Amino acid sequence: MRNAAGGSLRSRGELAALAVDLDRTLISPEGKGLKSASQVLKDCQRMGLKVILASGREYNVLSAFADELRYVDAVVAENGAVIEAPAGSRVTVIGRATAARVRRRLAGAPWANVECGEVVVSVPRSEGSKIATLLEGLGVYLVPNVDRVMILPKGISKASGVRSAIGRLHLESSAFAAVGDGENDIPLLRAATLSGAVRNARPQVLACADYVCRASFSAGVAEFVRGPVTDALRGRSSVGRRHVLREVD
């Protein structure tokens, strides 16, 4: 079982949670870094923060990672469409009806190389423009994510999923910190009270984050937590002093 223990900042009360992406943020593309990632999540809980694992991955896969990471209080899967909060509670799925309409429309496009989750549907990034035309009128939007494009019902994002999870955790504050790397993390980072991007993040993510880490993957998350997040919990902002820009390779 998972452990469910318990610039300037955009103030909405004291930070109550950390929302963190999985792939290329907590762990490397090769899946390395779980042990160090688990330790930083443990540190978050010791600081009094709830940990929300937010990813585009399907729930069953993400839940298995959460079990291995141990120190996770809530899971937001499929980019906000599937929510388990608190950990171990009943899973909520949002957007099934729209997802079914998308699948029916894409059934006539075998060339699209479609991959389906409970709600999210993805296609290769190269097919994005053709898919957008094909799905007109269905109330969906397309989210780039590395080499694929995710198709989601409008209104669903990591930001909406994390907000829902925070509500279900009954926290005294709605303020949260968030850290990620991909384009699908941008709404989450913009919604956060304090946002961070690991060094290996996409340029668009680096541009929108309050703090750009010097380190990649779990080391970058640890840097974000032990620097700006810790300072915020102590009532001071270090973002202006500590924010760094990644050098252009």
Could you report the per-residue pLDDT of 172-214, keeping only the tens digit for each? 999 999 999 999 999 999 999 999 999 999 999 999 999 999 9
Whole-angstrom distance, CA of residue 192 vs CA of residue 159: 8
Domain end, chosen from 153, 184, 203, is at 153
| 64 and 164 both lie in a single domain | yes
| 181 and 235 both lie in a single domain | yes
Q: pTM to 2 decimals?
A: 0.90
Domain end, chosen from 137, 153, 169, is at 153
Q: What is the mean pLDDT of residues 213-235?
A: 97
The pLDDT of residue 239 is 61
| Residue 53 belongs to a domain | yes
| Residue 9 belongs to a domain | no
| 45 and 110 both lie in a single domain | no
Question: Is residue 57 very low, low, confident or very high in pLDDT (cuts 50, 70, 90)?
Answer: very high
Read off the pLDDT of residues 125-161 as tens digits, 9 standing for 90 and up: 999 899 999 999 999 999 998 889 999 999 999 999 9
| 55 and 167 both lie in a single domain | yes
| Residue 167 belongs to a domain | yes
- Which of 36, 15, 9, 6 shows the shortest CA–CA distance to 217? 36
| 169 and 238 both lie in a single domain | yes
| 126 and 226 both lie in a single domain | no
| 81 and 101 both lie in a single domain | no
Domains identified in the chain, total number: 2
| Residue 5 belongs to a domain | no
- CATH number of residue 198's parent domain: 3.40.50.1000
| Residue 12 belongs to a domain | no
The pLDDT of residue 103 is 95
| 168 and 79 both lie in a single domain | yes
| Residue 4 belongs to a domain | no
Structure tokens at 1: 């079982």
| 210 and 229 both lie in a single domain | yes
**Does residue 248 or residue 244 have the better pLDDT?**
244
Q: Which range of residues forms the domain containing residue 125? A: 95-153
Who's near 194: CB < 8 A, 6+ residues apart?
9, 10, 15, 177, 178, 210, 211, 228, 229, 232, 239
- Which of 112, 52, 105, 102 shows the shortest CA–CA distance to 82? 52
| Residue 183 belongs to a domain | yes
Cα dihedral: 206, 208, 214, 218 (round 10): -90
Domain end, chosen from 104, 129, 153, is at 153
Q: Calculate the alpha carbon distances from 202 to 59, 207, 248 in Å.
A: 24, 9, 12
Chain-centroid distance of CA 38 in Å reads: 16
The pLDDT of residue 222 is 98
pLDDT at 7 over 90: no
| Residue 6 belongs to a domain | no
The number of helices, as runs of H, and strands, as runs of E, in the chain is 10, 12
| 165 and 81 both lie in a single domain | yes
Read off the pLDDT of residues 79-124 as tens digits, 9 standing for 90 and up: 999 999 999 999 999 999 999 999 999 998 888 899 999 999 999 9
